[in-house]
Amino acid sequence: MDKLFQPNISVSSSMYGVSGAQQQGFQVFRGSTFTISCSIQPQYPGGSFLLSSSTHNYTQPAVNHSAHFLFPAAEPAHQGNYSCVYHVSAFSQDLSSESRLLSVTVTGVRSDPEPFIIRAVVLPLTQLLVTIGLYFYCKSHCVLSCLSRPPGGGGRADRRTLSWIMMTWVFLLKRKELREQSSSSKELLSHTWVYQLL
């Protein structure tokens, strides 16, 4: 009867993606989702995995010689040293094999995307609505002024209002153009950096 292989243990997180199986330690933000996976090379069918730490024990059946333990929201209680223990019955004997230790540390607070959404969407939209409101206000004001003043009067004030509207739109268009150029430059630098790495 062959000796059992040593199981593999790895961890993945919603913040960082899949970690390497040889990783000795892993940090995850508080509140983030992470998964600890146990696997072993096929020797015997069936079996189960025990995910063990100093404070918790979890058991799952081995499906395709692996098991995945999901932690929906990381908390300080989840940090510690974890190991996978594979149990299987073969030839009327109970066999087991334990993986290396994997250290999990829960740190900080997951970054909230809400401020970035406000900065990227809400503020420009508010600015656009204010500009449109000012445009229609000035337009209606100019019409009322034209109807209420005698012929030939108030032309200078109307020209100043129209000039202000035009300058505002030119400013917004220029700023949008500069942002697009800045974004294109950053993307070009990123592609250049990746190309140099390759």
The pLDDT tens digits of the residues spanning 84-140 come to 999 999 888 899 999 999 999 998 765 555 554 555 666 677 777 777 877 777 667
Q: What b/e string do you get for 83-109 counting C-beta neighbours within 10 Å, with b at 16 or more?
A: bbbbbbeeeeeebebebeebebebeee
What does the alpha-carbon distance between residue 31 and residue 106 come to, in Å, rounded to a whole number?
9
Ordered by start, the domain boundaries in the chain are 8-109, 114-197
Question: pLDDT by residue (tens digit) across 9-56?
Answer: 999 887 654 444 445 578 889 999 999 999 999 999 999 999 999 888
Strand 25-30, strand 102-109: pairing: parallel
Task: Determine the pLDDT at residue 17.
Answer: 47
The maximal CA–CA distance of the chain, rounded, in angstroms, is: 109
**17 sits in which H/E element:** strand 17-18
H-assigned helices in the chain = 114-117, 123-148, 155-197
Cα angle 7, 107, 27 (rounded to 5 degrees) comes to 30
| pTM recorded for the entire structure | 0.53
| 113's tokens | 């995307």
**36 sits in which H/E element:** strand 34-39
Tell me the CATH number for domain 8-109. Answer: 2.60.40.10
DSSP state of 92: T
For helices 155-197 and 123-148, what crossing angle results, to 10°? 160
